[in-house]
Structure 1
Amino acid sequence: MEQHDLTLRPITGREELGLFNRFPYVLNEELADDLADGRRLPGWMWVALRGDRPLARLAWWGRAGERTPSVLDIFDLADDAAEVGDRVGLGERLLRTALAEVLPEGARRPEYTRFVPPDWREGEENRRAVEDRMAALERTGAALFVERLRLEWRPGTPVPAPGGRLAFRPIRDTEEILTLMTRVLAGTLDAHSRDDLTRMSAREAAVRHFEEELAVYRSPRDWWRIATLPDGEPVGFVTPARNDYNFVIGYLAVLPEHRGNGYIDEILAEGTRILAAQDVPRIRAATDLGNTPMANAFRRLGYVNFERAITMTWD
C-alpha cells in the first residue's frame, strides 16, 4: 500500500532481510533461521518505506506450520520517521495495514512483546523509543498487560550445593506434571496465568501451558525435577530445558501449602545445576516484575536482569 511516496508492504523474502534489519534489535540474528524453519513468513514481516529507506517495521512469530502467528515481537520506528509527519501515527498506519492483511477477520490479535533495556525509563532516548511504540499500539486498541524481567545465569556464577531439606527426582509421567501445574495456579502471581484463569479452569490452563511450551522443548524430560520432602511429599518442581534459542528455566513453582519456607531457592538451584552440568553458554529465565518472591529467588542465585519485556494485549 502506498501513501504519497510512502510504501507499506511485507518483505519479499529472505533476500530482503538486509533491508528489514537496518533497525538494530537483538532478534535480528535469529530471523534468517526463523524464516528457514517456518517460524516466520515473509508475509508476516512488514516495512514502511520512503524510497528504499525503511522508516518503520514489524514482524510476527509463530510455531512452524501454524497458519496464523502467535506473537507480535518486532516493531520499530526510525528516528527520522517524524519526517512523514507523526512518527507515532506512521507506526499506527503500519500496524493497522499489516493487521488487516495478516490476521483473518475476527481473529484475536496476538499479544505484543518487546525486549527493552532493564533501565529503559532512565534514558531519554530509550524511554522515548519505548513510549512511542506503545503509543502507536495504544492507538490500535492495545493496552499494557505486564512488564517482565528477563534473567540470565552465566557460567562461573556459583551455585550452592543441595541443602538437604529436599529430595529431587524426575517426573513419573505427563499426568504427574499436569497435576502439579494445576495445583500451583492457586494464588499465582503470574499475569498470564491469572488471565488464563478468568477464561478457563486451572486444569485447562495447565494443559494449555504444557502443550504450548513444555511439550515442544527440544531437551529431554529427564531433566525435569520434582522436589519432595524426605517422606516423598511433593513441594514443587522445575523444568530446566532447551527451547528453540536458549537453555532455560522453563517453569519453576512451589505448591501453595509449602510457600514461605524458602524452598524456591533450593528448587531453582537444582534446575540450574542440571543445566550447568551440560556446559551451557548461559541459562535464561523470566518472571513478572510484580512477582517479587520469584524475582528475588533468581537474584539470590546470581541471575542477572539483562533485559525487560513489555507485553501489550488487545481485548
Structure 2
Amino acid sequence: MLFRCTTESDRDRVTAVTVDEPISWIPAERYLDELGQGMYRPEWTWIAEEGDRVIGRALWWGQPASDHPLALDCLHVDASAGDRTAVAAGLLTASLKAFAEMGARKLPLYNLTLPHGWREDPAVAAALAWRRDAALAAGLTDEVERLRLEWTPEIGIPAGSGSLVFAKASDEEFLQVFRQIAVGSLDCETRRNLASKGAEVTARQEMDFYLSCPGERGWWRLVRTPQGETVGLAIPSATPYNRNVGYLGVVPEFRGRGHVDDVLAEITRVHAEAGAELITATTDTGNAPMAAAFARAGYRTAQIRLIYSAPES
C-alpha cells in the first residue's frame, strides 16, 4: 500500500471519494472551492493507494496564508480496505511525518465534528471508533471534547448590565491580561500549556493565534470597572466562514460575579450590530461555567467537536 500526497493530476480521484457514514466530511464542491482559495492544497491532500484504487483520503486544511496545514478536516477509508484503523493510521503517520520534515513546528490537529447526542447513536459511535483509534496510533493522543455553539438574530442580543467599560488597549496591555486569565482557566488547552510552558509562553501563543485570525484587531477590547480596575478581555473574531466569539475571559479576582455574561453580551452585540447572521463559538464540555454562560445568552449547541492533537514537549 502506498501513502502519498497528491498532485494536480489526482484531483478527479480525490473528489470522487464520498463518505456514507454519519460523520463530518468534505464534499467535492467545498473541496474544489477552498482548493482555489489555498485552504486545501495538493501537497496537503493525502491518499492511500492499493494498486490503482484510492482506498483512503485525508484532507488537511489551513489558512490561505499558512505555510503548513492547521487541521485535518476529513479522514476516510473505504470499508473494503479491511482494517480501516491500520490504513488510516498509516495515512496519518505518513502525512504528519511529511509536515514535520517540511518544517511545521506544531503538528496539525484532527478536528472531528459529530452531531449533538452522538453517544446515543450507534452508527455515529462506530464511525468515530476507527478514526479515534487511528488518530491515537498516529500520535494525536491529546483528546478534548468541545461544544460548537451558534447564535442567530432571532435569538436577540443578550442584555448587559452596563456596569463595565470596554476600551481599546495596546498589545502589551492585552498580553498582560492574557497572562492573568490563564491562571485557573478551565480550558483544557490553556491548562495543558500553562503546566508545560508557563504563563508567559501560553499568553503569547494565545494572543498570536487570535492576531492571525480573520477578525480585525480593532474589534478587541479590555474590560474594566468604572474605577479602572481590569476585569478581563473581549475578543470578537472571525473564521474564514463567519464571525465568532474568539476569546473572552475574566481575571481570577473578578470571577464568580457574573461578569462573563456582560463580556459575552458585548461580543455578541459587536457582531450583531455589524450585521452578522451567524455567530459561532466553542467551549470545552468540561468548562461548565462557560457553557452555562452561552446558554444564558441564548447560544444553541449545534454540534460536538472532538479534537485530537500531538502532545507538545
Task: Answer whether TM exceeds 0.5 for this pair.
Answer: yes
Question: Could you say which residue in structure 2 is the equivalent of 1:104?
Answer: 101
Q: TM-score, normalised by structure 2?
A: 0.87
Question: Could you say which residue in structure 2 is the equivalent of 1:13?
Answer: 8
1:47–1:209 Cα change, 3 Å: same
CA drift at 1:159: 2.1
Following superposition of structure 1 onto structure 2, how do residues 122-161 of structure 1 map, counting pairs within 5 Å? 122-161=120-159
| Distance in 2 between residues matched to 1:18 and 1:105, nearest whole Å | 25
Out of 199, 217, 236, the residue aligned to residue 232 of structure 2 is 236
| Distance in 2 between residues matched to 1:150 and 1:181, nearest whole Å | 23
Out of 177, 190, 193, the residue aligned to residue 193 of structure 1 is 190
1:119–1:142 Cα change, 3 Å: same
The answer to whether the aligner puts 1:264 opposite 2:260 as a matched pair is yes
Following superposition of structure 1 onto structure 2, how do residues 13-162 of structure 1 map, counting pairs within 5 Å? 13=8, 16=11, 19-20=14-15, 22-24=17-19, 25=24, 27-28=26-27, 30-49=30-49, 54-78=54-78, 81=79, 83-104=80-101, 109-162=107-160
Describe the SS at the equivalent of 2:7: coil
1:18–1:159 Cα change, 3 Å: farther
Percentage of matched positions with identical amino acids: 34
The answer to whether the aligner puts 1:251 opposite 2:261 as a matched pair is no
CA contact (8 A) 2:158 2:268 kept: no
Structure 2 unpaired stretches of 5+: none
CA contact (8 A) 1:17 1:32 kept: no
1:155–1:55 Cα change, 3 Å: farther
Following superposition of structure 1 onto structure 2, how do residues 196-207 of structure 1 map, counting pairs within 5 Å? 196-207=193-204
CA drift at 1:130: 0.8
Describe the SS at the equivalent of 2:240: coil
| Distance in 2 between residues matched to 1:187 and 1:208, nearest whole Å | 17
1:255–1:17 Cα change, 3 Å: farther
Q: TM-score, normalised by structure 1?
A: 0.86
CA contact (8 A) 2:75 2:131 kept: yes
Describe the SS at the equivalent of 1:164: coil
| Distance in 1 between residues matched to 2:267 and 2:310, nearest whole Å | 35
The answer to whether the aligner puts 1:277 opposite 2:260 as a matched pair is no
| Distance in 2 between residues matched to 1:163 and 1:108, nearest whole Å | 41
Describe the SS at the equivalent of 1:198: helix
CA drift at 1:248: 0.7
Describe the SS at the equivalent of 1:236: strand
| Residue-by-residue CA offset, 1:36-79 (whole Å, 9 max, x unaligned) | 3333321111123567764321122234454433333321234x
Structure 1 unpaired stretches of 5+: none
1:156–1:23 Cα change, 3 Å: same
